[in-house]
Structure 1
Amino acid sequence: MSQQQKNGPVALAFNALVIAFMLAPLLVVCVVAFTPENTLTLPTTEFSLRWFRAVFVHPDFMQSFWNSLWLALASASIATLLAVPAGLAITRYNFPGRGLLNGLFLSPLLIPHLVLGVALLRLFALVGGAGSFGFLILAHALIVTPYTLRLVVAALVGFDRSAEHAALSLGASTATVFRRITLPMILPGVTGGWMLAFINSFDEVTMSIFVTSPSTVTLPVRMYMYATESIDPLMAAVSALMVALTACAMVVLDRIYGLDRILVGGK
């Protein structure tokens, strides 16, 4: 018996324990969300949708939800509009500063969001945009663009350009080739990048704390603020809804692009 076969059950057990350790807090939160009690109670003797109903009639949480939804939609779309031409330039052309451009787009992944939040707060204050929803969109687009660019670049690497060359030789314009050949062929990567950007924008809290205003508070920030003031199961219900929303988005992303391709770098 090989060493790999001997370590198989041990490795499987270790991975199962790690997954259980990571998912246990989420499971506990989701179970607590169904309690009918006024406090965080586990185990509970019965299940109730009381706190889920309370979420949908809570004006602050509903307003924050819509803020997060429109913010994620706008920032993910802007990130995609930036990532597609940037990905084409990085993968297809050799020009001075190519590596610098690639590093510039990916740099938000290297900077802690706490540092970005403080820096953007200062910048927005200097230009008179502090608290503006438009500047909040730009801030989120900044941090989610690397995710979209990574998947767009992965879709373009190894891209067979024979169909493009054939279309160009037959008289099609560059714009027509991009619209009718290139974009449809890389669309899974573009769509997957948009979905990943949407998820990261919707769940972002660290940077958003610094750049939101009372009228533009996002759902994660609202949850953080509420958790500092109360310990009732309403927070667990909101958390369970966010877990469900994120899980649904990940399932869609897996169907469109494949999570295994994302984890291995799009290969």
Structure 2
Amino acid sequence: MTTLYLDTFSGISGDMLLGALLDLGLDFAAFKAQLAKLKVTGFELTAKRVAHSSIYGTDFDVVLDQGTKDQGFVETKHHHDHSEDQHHHHQAAGHHHHGEVRHLKDIEAIINASELSTTVKAQANQVFADIAQAEAVVHAMPVDEVHFHEVGALDSIVDIVGIFVALEMLGIDEVRASELVDGTGFIEVAHGKMPVPVPAVMQMRVGTAIPVRQLMDVPTELITPTGMGVVKALVQDFGPVPTDWTIQKIGYGFGKRQTKQLNALRVLICEKKNASH
């Protein structure tokens, strides 16, 4: 059995996880070919091997045709991208002649109409439904009225679907994780300041036993709604790496935020010792 272990010492977001999975050696060209089955256009994927704190890993990005970049943050009408890109997102969204927003049913329709595997479709739909449900509670509105700005939705669709495509390509049987780590304080968004953990992430913890520890010296968000949604859909157990596991490969995926520490997600491919093959 092949297990993926998420070492979330600096949180988790969609682009961090995809960067880490590519860093394990996943063929980028083959990955892009699989993702093309989504039949969605308007973006380009980039993956660069770079060093942070003298540690090499992969910086993954979804670069939209409008020139804005994915910052690993899901947008709804109350919930915009990181402050440095806010204005770009508003301008980009304004260039659309119609359909500035996508609702959950629109996103599900895109995923379901793709040529992806049944498993990938089901997992991606589960994550989007979970995020939309959390946003609906936070903003006191019906789930079918929660809407993702088109620019943000495209980022999120590529990130979330891409993660499940990558896991399928890597032949991952199960996913485990360390205790999750988030920052603290407040982040600036279009409608003011939002507390960390951000409300959607906190809402997604309701009814779960997912362990989350906050770093009091990191005054920013480290766990995005996409990151939490993927954790909820995938992770079967939390804790340290079991002593009866053999670590076979390690990958690092970098986050976009500048923090006082290494802002990366470390992933391990593990096998149980003496496991029969």
Q: One fold, TM greater than 0.5?
A: no
TM range (shorter): under 0.3
Rg (Cα) greater in structure: 1
TM-score, normalization by structure 2: 0.22
TM-score, normalization by structure 1: 0.22
Between structures 1 and 2, the one with greater strand share: 2
